[in-house]
Structure 1
Amino acid sequence: MLRNCCRVTFKRNLCPLIIQKKTFLSNDYKCNEAWNSLNASPIINKINLQDFYNVVDINHSSKGVISAIDVDIFANAVKDSSHLEELKDLLYKLRLSAETGNMLESTRHATVRNYIEFGEIEELVGILKDPLNFGVFLDDYSANILLDKLITSSNYELAANVASTIMLQEEFNNDITCTLCQYACYKYVLGYIPPEPAPPVQKSKKVEEIKIRVKYLRNPYFDDHFDIKDTYTLSGKTLAWISERSSDNLNNNLQIIGWLVYKKYDNLLNTCEKFSKSGSFTVYKEVLELLQKESANANEESKPVIENCISILNKVEVKSDASLEDLIKIAIEDAINKSHKNDIAEQEKLYKSWAQLREEKLEEQTKRLDRARRIQLIEEKQKEMKETEQKLWFFENEEQIDLQIEEKEKLEDKSEKKETTTETVNSNYVPPEIKPKRK
C-alpha cells in the first residue's frame, strides 16, 4: 500500500543495512530535477547571499523600498540553513510594504521547500499560521510534500496545523491534498489527550485596581473561522468541511467525527439522522468509540445530543471488519494513482513559467532602475548648468539676484519674530487660580 524508500548505511562492514521508511508520495512527485534546473540560472548561482541581503536591508532602511523580485531571488538562492532567518526577515519586510501584492508564487514555494530541506518544519508551520505578517500560502504541490513529510515522521499535531491552514484557505481542488489532510486530522484526533486544567491561582484579598484610559472599546466578535486557535477544534472543522465534498461511506463517517470534534452538535445530529436513513451507509467502530469517549466528558447540554446520536448509529449496520485508518490510506493511494502523473507534469510546466516570469520581472526592474538613474543624472546636469549660468550672467542679472536675496531675508525675519512671540507668551503665562464656590 505504502511506498518503501530504501537507504543503505554502514559501509564499513560491507554488509548493507536496509531501513524501510513508509511514504505516500514517490520521489518523482517532488520534481527535484525540475526544481534544481529552475534555480540553475547564473543569476541564482553567482549571487553572494550575505552581500545581497545587506544591500536589500540598507535600501529598505534608508528608502523604505523593497522589491518582490529581490526577495524571490534570495529565496531561490538559499543553499543552507544559516540564511533562513534572513529569508524570514525579508518576507516580513515585503509583507509590510506596498510591494506585497507583487510577491511571486515561486517565492512561497521556495520558502516551503527550503524549510523542509533543512529540517526547520516547526518554524515553517509558524510562518504558515501567520499569513498577515509573512504572506506565505501553500499551493497544492508544496502542501502535499509537506503533509507527506510530517505524516511520515508521525508528527500529527503539526500535520493537523498544516491541514487547518488549507481548510482556512478553502481550497479543496486537489484530491491528494484533501485525503492527506483527512488522514492527518484523523490521526491527531484519535491520539488527542486533553491538557490537564491549570490549578486555580489564589488571589490575595486586597487587590489594587489599576485603571487605564482607553480611546474606545471593541465589541467582542468571534468569526468561528480565522479566530479559532485550538488545533483540536480546527482539526474537527477540517474533517467536516473536506468530507462534505464527497458522499461515500468513508467521508460520511469522517464527517460525523468532524462535527463531533468541532462541537457543532446540531449539524452532528442532523448528519447522523440523514445517514441512518440511507440504506448504503455503514458506521465504523472507531466512530462509535469516539462518540462514547466524548459523551463521557461532555457537559449537561451536549451529552443528551451525543447519546441520541449514539442510539441512532447503533441501529445502523456496523462495519467491524475494516479499519477506518486503512480505508483513508486506500483513499490516499487511489488519489495518488489518479492524479500523480498529471501533478508532476503540471509542476514541471509551472516551474518553467516561473523561470520565464522571473527573467521578465528582473528585466523590468533593471529597465526601471536605469530609467531612474538616467533621470537623476539629467537633473544633476541641469542643476550644474543652472549654477554655471548664474555665474556667467551674474552682472547682467545682479539686480534680480539682489531682490531674491532681500525676499529671503524678509521671510527669515518673519519666522524669527513668530518664534520669539510664541516664547514670550509661553513664559508669561500664568495659570488661573481655582477658588471654591461660595455657598
Structure 2
Amino acid sequence: MLIRGNKYLLSRYVLIKKLQKRSFLTNEYKCESAWNGQRSSPIINNINLNDFYTSLSQNYASKGVISAIDVDIFANAVKEPIYLDELKELLHKLRLSAETRNTLESTHHATIRNYIDFGNEQELIDILKDPLTYGVFLDDFAANILLDKLITSNNYELAAEVAALVMLQEDFSNEITCTLSQYACYKYIINYKVLPPEAPKAEEKKKIEEKKIRIKFLRNYYHDDHFDIKDLMLLSGKTLAWMSRNNNDNVSNNLQIIGWLYYKKYDSLLSLCENYKNLKSFKLYNDVIELLQKESSKCEDKDSLQKCISILNACPKAEGGLEESIKKLIEDAINKTQKKDISTQQQLFEMWLSTREEKLNEQIQRLNRAQRIVEVEKKQKELEVEEQKLWFFENEEKIDLEIESKEKLHTSTEKNDINISEDNYIPPEILPKRK
C-alpha cells in the first residue's frame, strides 16, 4: 500500500509539474487584477455598449466624425465576445478619420487583450497584419501574452506570424519578446510540412473574352525585402536572423545560422560561418547541421551550403538539444525582466486611466463650448428679427429699397434664363478680317 501510495503521489507530482510547465509566463506577469481594476472605473462601468455603439454609428453616418476617446472607452468596456465585430468596425471608422492620430495606447492593448481572452487569435492577427485598415499595433507586453498563449497551444504558425510582426517593427528591446519570437519561429521551421499540390481542376472550354482596362501609368516592380515579404518561411528566417544577431550567447548564434539559411541569404550565411569558425566560445548544435543538410538536398545553391557544412563540422559541438536551450533562454529572460515588466505595466494602466479621464473631460468641454456657440448664434438671429420688428417704421424706407433691389435682381435673372426660340433666332454677322 505504501508503494502504491508513493507511485500515486509521484504521478500526481509529475502531472502538476507538467501543468506548471505548460505556460512560460506566470499569472503575475499578465497583471490581470491591475488590468481589470483600470477597466472598472465609473467611466467604463456606466456604459451601455448597445446604446453607445448606436450613438457612435449614427454620429459617424450623419457627420462623418468619430472620437478616439470614444473608441478607447468602447474597447475597454467590451466584456463579451458578441461586441468584437462592433469594436472592429469602430476601429476601421477611426482609421478612416483624421482622429486616428489621437488613438490612445490603451486602445491597442485593450483590443489585443479582448481578442486573446475570447480566443479569437486568428482574427486578431488578421487585424494586426492590416494596419492601414485598422491601425492596431503590438506593444511588448501584449506581444508576450499573445506569443505565450499561441506557443503553449502549439499553434506555431500563428506564433511565427506574431514574431514576424515584431520583427517588422524593428524593436528588439524586450528580451522576453525576442526569446519567445525566436522559439516560435524555430518551432514553425522544424514542424513545417509541405502541403501536397492540389489536383488540377478540369478546365471548362469557354470563350475567352478580352478585357481591356485603361490605366494612367505602370509602376515599376519594386520589392523592399521587408514589408513586401509574404512567405511566412522567409519571414521566420529573417526574424531569427535579425533578433539573434542582437545577442552574443551561443544559442542565438546557432539560431542566427538557421535564420540566414531559411531567409535564403547564403552569402551572409557563409560569411557568418567563417566568423564562427574563429570564435572560441561558439559551439554547434547537431540540430543546425541536420537542417543545413536537409536544405542542401533541395537547394539550388548547394555549393554554398556544402561549404557552410564543412566549416561548421570543424567547430566544437554543444551538449543537449537546441530546443531545450531556447527554453532555458526564455526562462532566464523572464527571471531577469519579469519584475520590471510587471511594474511598468501597473504604472501604464494607472497612466492610461488618468489620460482617459483627462481626454474625456477635454472632449466634454469642447462639445459644451461648441453647443454654447450654436446657442449664441441662434440667439443673435432671434434678436435681429425682434429688432427689425421693433424698428420697422423708422427703417421702412430702407426696407422698401432692399425689397425693390431684390425684386429687380430676380426679374433680371429670369430674363436671362428665357430660351430664345429657333424661329426668332438671328445668327451673328461674321465680318471678314481686316488686312
* TM-score, structure 2 normalization: 0.88
Q: How far, CA to CA, are the matches of 1:337 and 1:145 in structure 2?
A: 16
1:84 alignment partner in structure 2 = 84
2:217 alignment partner in structure 1 = 216
1:148 alignment partner in structure 2 = 148
Bigger shift: residues 354-363 or 198-207 = 198-207
Q: Aligned pair in 2 of structure 1 residues 411, 198: CA closer, same or farther (>3 Å)?
A: farther
Q: How far, CA to CA, are the matches of 2:314 and 2:417 in structure 1?
A: 90
Please list, as runs of the form range in 1=range in 2, the aligned pairs for 1:153-232 lying within 5 A after superposition: 153-197=153-197, 207-232=208-233
Q: Give 1:187 shift.
A: 0.2
Q: How far, CA to CA, are the matches of 1:200 and 1:90 in structure 2?
A: 42
Please list, as runs of the form range in 1=range in 2, the aligned pairs for 1:299-310 lying within 5 A after superposition: 299=300, 302-310=301-309
2:383 alignment partner in structure 1 = 385
Q: How far, CA to CA, are the matches of 1:419 and 1:272 in structure 2?
A: 86
3-state SS in 2 of match to 1:154: coil
Q: Give 1:197 shift.
A: 4.1
The answer on 1:242 being equivalent to 2:240 is no
3-state SS in 1 of match to 2:401: helix
Q: Aligned pair in 2 of structure 1 residues 396, 172: CA closer, same or farther (>3 Å)?
A: same
What are the superposed Cα offsets for residues 139-173 of structure 1, whole Å, 9 maximum, x if unpaired? 11111111101111000000001111111111111
Q: How far, CA to CA, are the matches of 1:143 and 1:424 in structure 2?
A: 77
Q: How far, CA to CA, are the matches of 2:71 and 2:359 in structure 1?
A: 12
Q: How far, CA to CA, are the matches of 1:381 and 1:141 in structure 2?
A: 53
Q: How far, CA to CA, are the matches of 1:424 and 1:39 in structure 2?
A: 75
Gaps of 5+ in 1: 1-16, 429-439
1:404 alignment partner in structure 2 = 402
Q: Give 1:82 shift.
A: 0.5
Q: Give 1:72 shift.
A: 0.7
Matched AA of 2:283 = T
3-state SS in 2 of match to 1:226: coil
Q: Aligned pair in 2 of structure 1 residues 333, 412: CA closer, same or farther (>3 Å)?
A: farther
What are the superposed Cα offsets for residues 53-106 of structure 1, whole Å, 9 maximum, x if unpaired? 111111111111111110111011111001011011111111111111111111
Matched AA of 1:393 = W
3-state SS in 2 of match to 1:404: helix
1:354 alignment partner in structure 2 = 352
What are the superposed Cα offsets for residues 323-378 of structure 1, whole Å, 9 maximum, x if unpaired? 10000000000000001111111111111111111111111111111111111110
Matched AA of 1:220 = Y
Q: Aligned pair in 2 of structure 1 residues 414, 156: CA closer, same or farther (>3 Å)?
A: farther
3-state SS in 1 of match to 2:312: helix
Equivalent in 362, 379, 401 of residue 364 of structure 1: 362
3-state SS in 2 of match to 1:396: coil
Q: Aligned pair in 2 of structure 1 residues 415, 303: CA closer, same or farther (>3 Å)?
A: farther
Q: How far, CA to CA, are the matches of 2:191 and 2:176 in structure 1?
A: 23
Q: Give 1:272 shift.
A: 1.1
What are the superposed Cα offsets for residues 85-141 of structure 1, whole Å, 9 maximum, x if unpaired? 101111111111111111111111111111111111111111111111111111111
Q: How far, CA to CA, are the matches of 1:407 and 1:335 in structure 2?
A: 84
Quick one: percent identity of the two aligned structures?
61
Matched AA of 1:344 = I
Please list, as runs of the form range in 1=range in 2, the aligned pairs for 1:26-425 lying within 5 A after superposition: 26-197=26-197, 207-299=208-300, 302-319=301-318, 321-412=319-410
1:9 alignment partner in structure 2 = none
Q: How far, CA to CA, are the matches of 2:414 and 2:396 in structure 1?
A: 27
* TM-score, structure 1 normalization: 0.87
Q: How far, CA to CA, are the matches of 1:44 and 1:121 in structure 2?
A: 25
Gaps of 5+ in 2: 1-14, 426-435
1:6 alignment partner in structure 2 = none
Bigger shift: residues 143-152 or 398-407 = 398-407
Matched AA of 2:358 = E
Q: How far, CA to CA, are the matches of 2:294 and 2:343 in structure 1?
A: 45
3-state SS in 2 of match to 1:252: helix
Q: Give 1:404 shift.
A: 3.1
Q: Give 1:303 shift.
A: 2.1
Q: CA RMSD in A?
A: 2.2
- Specify which structure has the higher proportion of strand: 1
Bigger shift: residues 348-357 or 193-202 = 193-202
Q: How far, CA to CA, are the matches of 1:196 and 1:187 in structure 2?
A: 21
Q: How far, CA to CA, are the matches of 2:340 and 2:421 in structure 1?
A: 81
Bigger shift: residues 411-420 or 80-89 = 411-420
Q: How far, CA to CA, are the matches of 1:412 and 1:183 in structure 2?
A: 80
Matched AA of 1:110 = A
Q: How far, CA to CA, are the matches of 1:187 and 1:333 in structure 2?
A: 17
2:19 alignment partner in structure 1 = 20
3-state SS in 1 of match to 2:229: coil
Q: Aligned pair in 2 of structure 1 residues 415, 80: CA closer, same or farther (>3 Å)?
A: farther
Q: How far, CA to CA, are the matches of 2:49 and 2:280 in structure 1?
A: 63
Q: How far, CA to CA, are the matches of 1:238 and 1:203 in structure 2?
A: 44
Q: Aligned pair in 2 of structure 1 residues 412, 283: CA closer, same or farther (>3 Å)?
A: farther
